[in-house]
Amino acid sequence: MPLLALDTSAAVSVAVTDDDGRPLARRHDDLPRHHAELLAPMVAGALADAGVDRRDLTAIVVGTGPAPFTGLRVGLVTARTLALALGVDALGVPSLDAIAAAALPRVPDGVPLVVATDARRREVYWSAYSRAAGADVDVLVAPRVGPAPEIAADPALARACVVGAGAALYPAAFEGLTHLPDAGTLDAAELVPLALARRAAGADLPTAPLYLRRPDAVPSAGSKRVLG
């Protein structure tokens, strides 16, 4: 039975897969800061491409970041709303985990992998991984945000491979690490094998967002009186 996967941690990526995680259809758009306008038509298009009625979906898989507030929230709210309307599970997977799972087959045994994505403000979101049994990954360093040079300066990561848009954006900061060819931003279909493996193992798959820092837009402390 088909699943729908969404990720809005960077670009907007939508995929429909079968229950083994094999992609049936994909939609992808790199247009920045237009997640809200793009996502619903892309979901409809991917379902049409796959010949799948949304009522036949068995789960919604969504990337939980880390990412900036606005774009990430669009994907998470859409996934939760669809899951609630259809009466199926919403399964959250950290987006960095999925990038790692796709890249780790290219990493030599015993070598850690750093995944770094653009966090703006001259910083990166990053995490470190090693191989695990099956489709899953072992998380060596939990997701965090900070200046890229701090990563290469960590002695535990001196031999690491690195992948992701953050590594491509700040190559000098990762000097000394082995850069892997990057296929670009996350393909939402890459979330599904991890979600299925973790659900089969009885793991919790929360859809809570990984923002890692406060949003740029700060709400007003309170309304002001206009009339005396």
Q: For residue 35, what pLDDT is reported? A: 86
How far apart, in whole angstroms, are the C-alpha atoms of residue 199 and residue 173?
Answer: 37
User: How, if at all, do strands 124-131 and 113-118 pair?
Assistant: antiparallel
Residue 88 one-letter amino acid = V
Q: For residue 185, what pLDDT is reported? A: 77
Q: How confident is the model at residue 223 (pLDDT cuts 50, 70, 90)?
A: very low
Question: Could you tell me if 18 and 2 are in contact, meaning their C-beta atoms sit under 8 angstroms apart?
Answer: yes
List the 3-7 sheet strands across, edge first.
23-29, 12-17, 3-7, 59-63, 89-93
Which has the higher per-residue pLDDT, 35 or 66?
66
| β partners of residue 146 | 124
User: How, if at all, do strands 23-29 and 12-17 pair?
Assistant: antiparallel
Residue 127 has pLDDT above 50, yes or no: yes
Residue 76 has pLDDT above 90, yes or no: yes
pLDDT digits (tens, 9 = 90+) for 102-120: 999 999 999 999 999 999 9
> 182 burial class (0-12, 13-18, 19+ CB within 10 angstroms)?
middle
Residue 217 has pLDDT above 50, yes or no: no
Report, as an integer, the average pLDDT of 65-82.
95
User: Lowest mean pLDDT: which of 41-45, 60-64, 169-173?
Assistant: 169-173
Domains and CATH numbers, the chain: 3-94+186-200 (3.30.420.40), 96-179 (3.30.420.40)
How far apart, in whole angstroms, are the C-alpha atoms of residue 56 and residue 158?
Answer: 47
Q: For residue 182, what pLDDT is reported? A: 76
pLDDT digits (tens, 9 = 90+) for 166-195: 999 999 999 889 999 876 679 999 999 999
How far apart, in whole angstroms, are the C-alpha atoms of residue 132 and residue 29?
Answer: 31
The contacts of residue 79 (CB under 8 Å, 6+ apart) are 6, 60, 61, 62, 90, 207
Percentage of the chain modeled with pLDDT above 70: 92
Q: For residue 62, what pLDDT is reported? A: 99
CA-based end-to-end distance of the chain: 62
Report, as an integer, the average pLDDT of 76-86.
98
pLDDT digits (tens, 9 = 90+) for 196-214: 999 999 999 999 999 998 6
The total of other beta-carbon atoms located within 10 Å of residue 36's CB is 16
How far apart, in whole angstroms, are the C-alpha atoms of residue 34 and residue 42?
Answer: 12
How far apart, in whole angstroms, are the C-alpha atoms of residue 95 and residue 186?
Answer: 7
Mean pLDDT of the chain: 91
Look at the chain and count its residues.
228
**Nearest one of 114, 91, 92, 117 to 103, comparing CA atoms:** 114
pTM over 0.85: yes
